[in-house]
Amino acid sequence: MIGVKKMFVVVITILLFMVAILLIVDGTFLNKKYAKVWSENYFGSLEPIQHKLIAGGLTASSSHNMQPWLVKIVSDHKIELYFDMTKALQVVDQDNTQMLISQGTFIKAYENYANAYGYDAHIHYHEPNFSAEQPLIATIEILKNDTAQKVDAISSSSWMVDEEEVNKDMDTLMMEILKDHDGFSYELMGESRLIVFQNFLLQGMMVESTNQKAMEETIEVFRFTEWEKNQYKYGLTIDASGVFKPAIQSISKLLANDWKQFGDQGIKMFKKRLEKEHTYILIKSHQPTYKTYIQTGQIYQEMINKFSEYAIRPSVQVLEKYDAMKNINNIFQEEYGEGKEVLMIIGIQDRIEDSVRTPRHLVEDILIH
C-alpha cells in the first residue's frame, strides 16, 4: 500500500512538473501586452485624439496579421500612412497586393473610429514607391462633423455591430458596401458550385503547404507562445483556447522546425475550415491598380463590420502569383474572373462564438517620430 502511495505521489509530482514546464515555455502568466488594443481601458488612456483613431486602425484585419502599418502624425487633424516594408512577404506576396489590401483595412478601421468620434475622414491615395524603405500609402485628414453623434467610449468588439444589418441578406449588404466603390463587382458562390470551388481552394492550399520557401516564410511569422506574441505583437497564431492552450502552443512550437509536418498540419486545418464555410464572396475589378487593391481592403473591413452574424475569412492561396502557384492562379482567374480579376475570396461561416483576439501592435509601435 505504501509503495502504491509513493508511486502515486511520484506520478503526480512528475505531471505537475511537466505542467509547470509547459506554462513557463508558453509564458501563460505574462501580462498580455499584445491584447491591449482590444481593451476599452486602453482606448480611454490614449491622448490626443489621433492616438485613439490610430488604435482603432490597429484593430483592422491584415494578411498573415502582419500589420504592415507605419503612421506619421503631421498635425492634430492629419496623418500619413506608410507601408512598413520589413513586414513584406517576399515569397507568397511578391507583388505586395496582400499588403496593399492590408493598408486598406487600416484606412477603413481608422475612418470608422473617426466617424464614431464625430469626424469625417478625407483620404488622399499616393502611388507607393516599393523601392523605398517606407512607401507612402495615403494622407488622411479628419474634419469635425458637428452633426455627427460622438460616442463616449469605443469598444473594438461592440460599437461597430449594427443591429439593423443582421437581418439583411448578403446581396443587399454587398450592394450597400460597393455603392461607393466604382469599378468593383462581386459574386456569391453558394451551394450549387461549392464542391468544385472548394476543390480549387484546397489545391491552392496544397501547393502552398508543399512549397518549402512558402512554409518557411509562414513559420517565420508564426507566434506560437505567449512569449512570442508579446515580443512581436504581430503575425500568425494558433486559434486555441481553454485549459489546454499552453500545451497546444508549446508543443506546436517544438514541432515547428519541420516545414513538411507544418504544411501537412496546415492542410488538415484548412480542410476542417472548408467544412464550415457555406458561401464565398468574390471581389472583382477590371485591370486593378495599386489604389484598387487598397480599396479592396476597405471593402473587406466594411464587410467585417456589416456581416456581424457571420465569421468571415479570406482565402488567398489561389490568388498568389509566385512560380509554384502561377498555373492554378491562371486557371482560377480564367474560370471565375469572367474577364475581370478576382482580388479577394472571402469565406463565410456561421458565427458560433467570438473569435480569438489576435495580437496587435500598440500605437507607439507604429508611430514615425
- pLDDT 10s digits, 200-245: 999 999 999 999 999 999 999 999 988 999 999 999 998 766 666 7
Q: How far is CA 95 from CA 64, 114, 227, 286, 293, in A?
A: 15, 31, 32, 17, 11
> pLDDT: is 312 or 19 the higher one?
312
Identify the pLDDT of residue 26.
Answer: 66
The DSSP element (H or E) to which 283 belongs, if any, is strand 279-285
Contacts of 228 (CB under 8 A, 6+ apart): 235, 253
CB pairs under 8 A, 24+ apart, for 117-120?
117/49, 117/52, 117/53, 117/150, 117/151, 117/154, 118/144, 118/145, 118/146, 118/148, 118/149, 118/150, 119/53, 119/143, 119/144, 119/145, 119/148, 120/144, 120/145, 120/148
Check residue 116 and give its pLDDT. Answer: 94
Mean pLDDT of the chain: 88
Q: What is the mean pLDDT of residues 167-179?
A: 89
As a whole-number percent, the residues of the chain with pLDDT over 70 amount to 86
Q: What is the mean pLDDT of residues 119-142?
A: 97
- H or E segment at 137? strand 136-144
Average pLDDT on 253-262 reads 85
Residues 294 and 71: their CA atoms lie apart, in Å, by 16
pLDDT reported for residue 203: 97
What's the pTM? 0.90
